[in-house]
Structure 1
Amino acid sequence: LDTLDKHGLIGNTIVCFTSDNGGVSSGDAYSSSMLPLRGGKGRQWEGGIREPFYFRFPGLIEAGSTCDVPVSGMDFYPTFLELAGIPVPREQVIDGRSIVPLLRGEQNREIAERDLFWHYPHYGNQGGEPSSIIRNASWKLIHYYEDGHDELYNLDSDPGEQNDVIADNRAKASELRQRLDRWLVEVDARFPVPDPQYDPEKEKARLHELEHEMMPELEAQHAEYLDPCWQPNEDWWGSHVTID
């Protein structure tokens, strides 16, 4: 921001700070905590899909203002087009919506009450499971493809997703599941299929290795990093050590 100001560009430059996922909480050698949110990168919970989002555009956004309406990375494109005064190309299918009304501090029911979707039809090295998600306002339903079960969370009262409330909200879960299934058909989503080479004994052996060999090794490594005397090598994780 100081550099933009120095060169006289701050007044007509849009600055956006965000991330494509939450921090790593499992599966990699280096991890972080998303608490009080559950999970992290690659997972279906809020720790994996909720990110920080800062937006700066003088003359449009009131400094220090906040907004609690959920938005998505797919909203950036139509938002930037509107701010630049460029019409959306007619031949393009636009998944997101311009959030300029929210940036102005206006209420917008169309944005606030829309459905948001995620589709993750595979496994991930951070532990993610094949699943699809729909969120509407405070309600979030997760559908799992391994056994076909659903989970329902109220993010207003339970942002850490500790209490599956589907048993007490069957009608809401059914409504959300129908909308999720309809969207998956509309976007021609691809779905996971059973692996013909799957061997439950190999899975059992792998989980035992993770629990009794790899996890203790990683925990010891993490403890080493926390030692005040620990020093990285000259090219630790591909980075360069600097003296500040």
Structure 2
Amino acid sequence: MGGWEGGIRVPGIFRWPGRLIPGREVAEPTSLMDVFPTVVKLAGGTLPEDRILDGRDLMPLLEGRTNRSQHEFMFHYCGMYLNAVRWHPPDSDSIFKVHFFTPNFSPAGAVGCYDTSVCMCHGEFVTYHSPPLVFELSGDPSESRPLSPDTEPRLAEVLERVERAVTEHRRTLTPVERQLTWAKVLWKPWLQPCCGTFFLTFFL
């Protein structure tokens, strides 16, 4: 399941001779959603203003103008379900990760969903946590030691701040029409080009 750090910490490589410093390493988390605003700005375009964009311009990080990601919060989904939230508080080296549910690995004792071939995101395939599991990633990147009030005095503050961030995040979500209905995926010959190789092959 991508909510664990092993599925999130995937390296990316950027090369731009004359612009980016060769060999520079950036350990801050970014997202594929950051590619869109980065490319639009580099091309001199204008970002749409009729919607909220979750991506951030990567160039300040890539060029070394900042050492901190613009993502104070990152929201990790398993399918359509919000699985975990990462919080890097401003002016702090702490990185908290809050898990609302975790997968039930199978068979028992495994570290993956081998019986089902893929980790499912709902129902009996997951365990919901109330209160959520919280980890401090800078000291525990393997997410093996959940925090407790005894080990982290700020635990209640972390959960309260993440809960507010989730509420704010969900306010920005706008439902869209389902893209994979039968009416949309069935082949429509009347929408195909009227000429070309495909047309000739089909009718000859």
Query: Matched residues in 1 for 2:80 and 2:54: separation?
Result: 22
> Match for residue 144 of structure 2?
162
The answer to whether the 8 Å contact 1:118/1:133 transfers is yes
> Match for residue 97 of structure 2?
140
Quote the offset at 1:121 in angstroms. Answer: 7.2
> What amino acid sits opposite 2:100 in the alignment?
H
> Match for residue 165 of structure 2?
183
Cα deviation per residue 1:65-84 (whole Å; 9 max; x = unaligned)? 11112112221111111121
Query: Matched residues in 2 for 1:174 and 1:121: separation?
Result: 28
Quote the offset at 1:150 in angstroms. Answer: 1.9
Identical aligned pairs, as a percentage? Answer: 30
Establish whether residue 83 from structure 1 lines up as the match of residue 42 from structure 2. Answer: yes
> Match for residue 51 of structure 1?
10
Quote the offset at 1:87 in angstroms. Answer: 1.8
Query: Matched residues in 1 for 2:16 and 2:133: separation?
Result: 39
Cα deviation per residue 1:160-201 (whole Å; 9 max; x = unaligned)? 112112331142x323322332233234389xxxxxxxxxxx
Query: Matched residues in 1 for 2:70 and 2:99: separation?
Result: 20
SS of 1:134's equivalent? strand
Aligned length: 141
Quote the offset at 1:134 in angstroms. Answer: 2.6
The answer to whether the 8 Å contact 2:84/2:97 transfers is no
Change (3 A) 1:155 1:95: same
> What amino acid sits opposite 1:175 in the alignment?
E
Query: Matched residues in 2 for 1:106 and 1:75: separation?
Result: 17
> Match for residue 115 of structure 1?
73
Change (3 A) 1:119 1:170: farther
SS of 1:70's equivalent? coil
**Which portions of structure 1, spanning 4 or more consecutive aligned residues, are displaced by more than 6 angstroms?**
none
Quote the offset at 1:131 in angstroms. Answer: 3.0
Task: Give the TM-score taking structure 2 as reference length.
Answer: 0.58
Query: Matched residues in 2 for 1:65 and 1:147: separation?
Result: 39
Q: How does 1:184-199 map to 2 (within 5 A)?
A: 184-188=166-170
Task: Give the TM-score taking structure 1 as reference length.
Answer: 0.50
SS of 2:164's equivalent? helix
Query: Matched residues in 2 for 1:78 and 1:183: separation?
Result: 22
> Match for residue 185 of structure 2?
none
> What amino acid sits opposite 2:99 in the alignment?
I
Q: How does 1:61-72 map to 2 (within 5 A)?
A: 61-72=20-31
> What amino acid sits opposite 2:76 in the alignment?
W
Change (3 A) 1:63 1:77: same
SS of 1:166's equivalent? coil
Change (3 A) 1:141 1:166: farther
SS of 1:56's equivalent? coil
The answer to whether the 8 Å contact 1:134/1:176 transfers is no
Match of 2:131 among 146, 149, 156: 149
